Chains A and B, each alone.
Chain A
Amino acid sequence: MSTSAPQHTNVGLTVGELHKSFAGVPVLKGIDLTVAPGELFVLMGPSGSGKSVLLRHLIGLEKPDLGEVKINGRSIDDEALRDECRMAMVFQSGALLNSLTVGQNVGLYLSEHRLLPAEEIEQVVAEKLEIVGLKGQEDRPVSELSGGMRKRVAIARALVMEPHLILYDEPTSELDPLSALTIAEEIVELNRRTGATSVVVTHDRDLGLGIADRIGILFDGELLQVGKPEEIRNSNHPLIKKFLGVDFRLTNTNR
């Protein structure tokens, strides 16, 4: 990637009539969605509703059966587009390279594309690790890390790319409330500072309602409602009401 290529600081995302089935089982059933440049869009929905699959389509890892994903009006398959605008994804599982250390994982984008000399990469890596609360852990092998640490390394690895579009698949699902708050702040920070268009998949109601510009609720492969946090909070849709109104004080315990 050369720095002279035209850079899109504003990346808008359009999804049209997206359908996807796995072995005949429909997972996405006609998704229509627009994410404006610089927007922080939160995607919520029950487990198995297709959030991860949708996210994989947004970054071109999955080919739709029908419909299309466009970035600034251009198809996601366009190779030139990939050179012009940087897209990052934080996988639900982290998807760190197991044969590398923490530092090598975080610096991978820079070192593979030879964007900076080694010492500067080290600096950037240290800086990003500090942001996610893993200062000084560069040399640990990835295989030693806990689930939450992996997720945070994955976030640091995405931050290093200074992406124009960043997709987070449950960035806080394995974190304690305090670390989750730090990560949430960083997500918002990145979005405000660089204008990176962000899509966050989360199960965390408070996080979602707290950081989102807009929220989409995905149920069983269909978008039930898209709107501002207040609109979603006050939604009349029975499924959404039930989903957002879950209360952990159990009603039928014997204690």
Chain B
Amino acid sequence: MFNTIGEIILLFTEFLRALPRAWRERQKVYEQLYEIGNASLLMACILSIFIGGVIALQTGPVLVERGLSNAIGGLVGLSMCKELAPVMMSVLIAGRIGSAMTAEIGSMRVYQEIDALRTMNINPVTYLVLPRLIAISIALPTLVVFSVLVGWMGGGLVSVYNHSISITFEAYFNNLSEMVDLKDVLNGLIKSFCFAVIIGLVACQQGFETIGGPRGIGRSVTKSVVNAIVSILILDYFLTRLLLFMDNKP
């Protein structure tokens, strides 16, 4: 495990060293962005509607019973943007995009394509990791903004149309905009940016480490997704602590 962490840190420093060439590689970044968007947008939309909906469904009736129906909007709004959207979208992207990255780089490794790059004096980190890592760190926060908005809608729909909640859209969104600050949304974006870097690094590192044939690729993909999700959930706790600490400082 420590070996893997070391390799990831090493890969990250190589990535940072290659970063000045990012502008030259922008075409590849666009291609990656397009692929990520294509693969995840619809799924993100469906997922977010239901996540927002289920929070309203779980908390709404309880709050209404206690005469706190005007707190539903704020509750859904805050939990969506500070916690659920960043984490759920990251998990989605780890499964959907991280796995594809590992599979692609892994098969390039196994079929000697990466060796071929080396013989042409093309740095595999610049050629493969740089565009992917940049694209994922742009795409994931963007996806989170999208997910937050859709999630709020989902919560609103349930709050209005569920019989045991039945509040108005106005009440829901008034409360939401009262409770949620821009700062809270930024909070979630910072988190998701960190998660994106983790997903990209874990996926690429696992890809490079692949040995053996198709079975080796399968093993790498599984490891990449599991490692990424575990790291996200652990990191989430500590990032939350850190961000709360920063919040409380005047």
**A17 interface residue, CB < 8 Å from B?**
no
How many A residues touch the partner, as a band?
Answer: 20 to 34
- Chain B residues near A93: list those with CB within 8 A: 111-112
Question: CA A86 – CA B122 in complex, angstroms?
Answer: 12
Question: CA A82 – CA B112 in complex, angstroms?
Answer: 19
**B247 interface residue, CB < 8 Å from A?**
no
Q: Is the CB of A88 within 8 A of B113?
A: no
Q: Is the CB of A98 within 8 A of B118?
A: no
Q: Is the CB of A161 within 8 A of B120?
A: yes
B108, B118, B119, B127: which has the most chain A beta carbons within 10 Å?
B119
Question: CA A91 – CA B112 in complex, angstroms?
Answer: 8
Question: CA A109 – CA B118 in complex, angstroms?
Answer: 11
- With A1-B121, A161-B120 known to touch, is A61 a contact of B115 (CB < 8 Å)? yes
Chain A proximity of B135: nearest CB distance (Å) = 15
Majority-rule SS of B interface residues: helix
* Option from B104, B107, B115, B127 in Cβ contact (under 8 Å) with A91: B115
- Chain A residues near B127: list those with CB within 8 A: 112
Annotate A91-104 by CB proximity to B: 1 below 8 A, 0 otherwise: 10101111100000
Q: Is the CB of A59 within 8 A of B119?
A: yes
- With A95-B113, A96-B113, A98-B113 known to touch, is A88 a contact of B119 (CB < 8 Å)? yes
Chain B proximity of A171: nearest CB distance (Å) = 15
Chain B proximity of A157: nearest CB distance (Å) = 8
Question: CA A105 – CA B115 in complex, angstroms?
Answer: 14
Q: Is the CB of A61 within 8 A of B118?
A: yes
Instruction: List A residues 69-96 near B (Cβ within 8 Å).
Output: 82-83, 86-89, 91, 93, 95-96
- Chain B residues near A108: list those with CB within 8 A: 120, 122
Annotate B116-138 by CB proximity to A: 1 below 8 A, 0 otherwise: 11111110000100000000000
Chain B proximity of A110: nearest CB distance (Å) = 10
Q: Is the CB of A88 within 8 A of B120?
A: yes
B117, B120, B121, B122: which has the most chain A beta carbons within 10 Å?
B120
- Chain A residues near B107: list those with CB within 8 A: 98
Annotate A53-71 by CB proximity to B: 1 below 8 A, 0 otherwise: 0001001110000000000
- Chain B residues near A83: list those with CB within 8 A: 121
CB-nearest residue of chain A to B126:
A112
**A242 interface residue, CB < 8 Å from B?**
no
**A113 interface residue, CB < 8 Å from B?**
yes
Q: Is the CB of A97 within 8 A of B108?
A: yes
Chain B proximity of A79: nearest CB distance (Å) = 10
Q: Is the CB of B113 within 8 A of A97?
A: yes
- Chain B residues near A89: list those with CB within 8 A: 116, 119
Chain B proximity of A199: nearest CB distance (Å) = 13
Q: Is the CB of B115 within 8 A of A95?
A: yes
Chain A proximity of B21: nearest CB distance (Å) = 11
CB-nearest residue of chain B to A114:
B24
Chain A proximity of B213: nearest CB distance (Å) = 12
Q: Is the CB of A91 within 8 A of B121?
A: no
- Chain A residues near B121: list those with CB within 8 A: 1, 82-83, 86, 109, 113
Chain B proximity of A164: nearest CB distance (Å) = 12
CB-nearest residue of chain B to A112:
B122
Question: CA A184 – CA B140 in complex, angstroms?
Answer: 52
Q: Is the CB of B120 within 8 A of A95?
A: no
Q: Is the CB of B122 within 8 A of A95?
A: no
- Chain A residues near B113: list those with CB within 8 A: 95-98
Chain A proximity of B38: nearest CB distance (Å) = 16
- Chain B residues near A96: list those with CB within 8 A: 113, 116
Question: CA A56 – CA B108 in complex, angstroms?
Answer: 17
Question: CA A91 – CA B121 in complex, angstroms?
Answer: 15
Question: CA A132 – CA B108 in complex, angstroms?
Answer: 25
Question: CA A89 – CA B111 in complex, angstroms?
Answer: 15
- Chain B residues near A86: list those with CB within 8 A: 121
* Option from B104, B111, B119 in Cβ contact (under 8 Å) with A61: B119
User: Taking beta carbons and an 8 Å cutoff, which residues of A are in contact with B?
Assistant: 1, 56, 59-61, 82-83, 86-89, 91, 93, 95-99, 108-109, 112-114, 161
If A88-B120, A91-B115, A161-B120 are given as contacts, then 11 extra A-B residue pairs at C-beta distance below 8 Å, sorted by A number, are A56-B115, A82-B121, A88-B119, A89-B116, A91-B112, A95-B111, A95-B115, A97-B116, A108-B120, A108-B122, A112-B122
Q: Please name the 8 residue pairs, one residue from A and one from B, whose CB atoms are nearest each other, closest first.
A: A95-B116, A95-B112, A89-B119, A109-B120, A112-B122, A61-B115, A97-B113, A91-B112
Can you list 17 A-B contacts with CB-CB less than 8 angstroms, sorted by A residue number?
Answer: A60-B118, A61-B118, A87-B119, A88-B120, A89-B116, A91-B112, A91-B116, A93-B111, A95-B111, A95-B113, A96-B116, A98-B111, A108-B120, A109-B120, A112-B120, A112-B122, A112-B127
